[in-house]
């Protein structure tokens, strides 16, 4: 069915929706954009102007493709044109429930409705859908979707297998690397991993162990470099001597020490108290207020393109 997807409806065109739209356009798709927010057209056009050079640098992308979008004012009357729906509304259960009810009612039978929900499982917002909630799932991208390949495909218990397969194949056709969650969990996988790292980072900073600047450097000059190559299981195996047995050897050799670190981490877990949050914000701003944010955005896009180019000739572990 992914071969029959020619027009995608992007519902909500904030940062995530705009990035999805840029990717869809670069792959030759027509895009219908719905977002009632004031000034959204101008905001998207600015985003497109910035994002398009990075997409063009990552492959043979014709500039004419960037024009294949239109903003729609009436969602109900336009949804019948869509072959796939990517929803990017606010992360509020009540809002998503009402929105999904509308999307389910007015899309054609069999059209996949995928939500960019960053942590709310689909079972939390499909309850009001009367037509066919089995074609709804979560397709959570890692930001920015137009450059980062990861997308988490998270079906709810009632999602049918055709929907799952169609979503996976469609995302692959865009150059994405979908992972399939076997069951729902709040926050999914990538954001839970991020949350775990962030929690320890917040603890270390709020306790005065390290500055925010040095903590960021510890990641970008240390494990972050390795994580761009492979995930924790492969890296654990390499750290244990390499090969399939490296993981077991590392667990046996370092397991007791790591368990001790984790016990200390749990003891000093960031508690989200008003005092801790106040200290965290103060320390973070010392670092963040010194940055050239426009330059960082450019650097991020350029580095992502270069990393993807380096990775294109190899298969991911």
3-state helix vs strand vs coil in the chain, percent to 5: 55, 10, 35
Q: Among the options 87, 152, 263, 294, which is catalytic?
A: 152
CA dist 14 to 55, 167, 316, Å?
19, 22, 30
Contact 231, 317 (CB under 8 A): yes
CB 171 within 8 A of CB 165: no
The full DSSP string for 189-257 is THHHHHHHHHHHHHHHHHTTSS-HHHHHHHHHTTHHHHHTT--HHHHHHHHTTSSTTHHHHHHHHHHHH
76 is catalytic: no
* Dihedral pair phi/psi, residue 267, rounded to 5°: -65, -35
The catalytic residues are 152
């Amino acid at each position: 069915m992914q071969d029959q997807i020619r027009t995608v409806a992007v519902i909500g065109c904030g940062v995530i929706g705009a990035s999805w739209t840029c990717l869809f356009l670069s792959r030759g798709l027509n895009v219908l954009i719905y977002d009632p927010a004031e000034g959204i057209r101008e905001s998207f056009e600015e985003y497109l102007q910035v994002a398009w050079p990075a997409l063009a640098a990552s492959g043979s992308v014709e500039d004419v493709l960037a024009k294949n979008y239109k903003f729609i004012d009436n969602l109900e009357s336009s949804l019948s044109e869509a072959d796939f729906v990517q929803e990017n509304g606010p992360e509020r259960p009540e809002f998503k429930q009402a929105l999904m009810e509308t999307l389910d009612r007015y899309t054609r039978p069999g059209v996949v409705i995928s939500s960019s929900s960053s942590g709310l499982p689909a079972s939390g917002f499909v309850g009001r859908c009367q037509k066919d909630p089995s074609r709804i799932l979560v397709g959570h991208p890692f930001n920015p979707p137009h450059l980062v390949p990861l997308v988490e495909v998270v079906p709810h218990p009632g999602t049918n297998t055709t929907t799952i397969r169609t979503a996976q194949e469609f995302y692959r056709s865009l150059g994405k690397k979908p992972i399939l969650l076997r069951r729902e969990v709040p926050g999914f996988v990538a954001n839970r991993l991020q949350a775990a790292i962030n929690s320890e980072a917040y603890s270390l900073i709020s306790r005065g162990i390290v500055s925010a600047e040095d903590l960021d450097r510890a990641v970008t000059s240390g494990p972050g470099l390795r994580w761009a190559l492979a995930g924790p299981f492969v890296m654990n195996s390499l750290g244990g001597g390499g090969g399939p047995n490296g993981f077991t050897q590392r667990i046996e050799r370092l397991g007791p020490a790591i368990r001790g670190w984790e016990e200390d981490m749990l003891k000093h877990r960031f508690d989200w108290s008003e005092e801790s949050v106040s200290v965290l914000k103060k320390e973070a701003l010392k670092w963040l207020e010194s940055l050239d944010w426009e330059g960082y955005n450019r650097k991020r896009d350029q580095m992502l393109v270069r990393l993807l180019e380096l990775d294109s000739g190899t298969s991911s572990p």
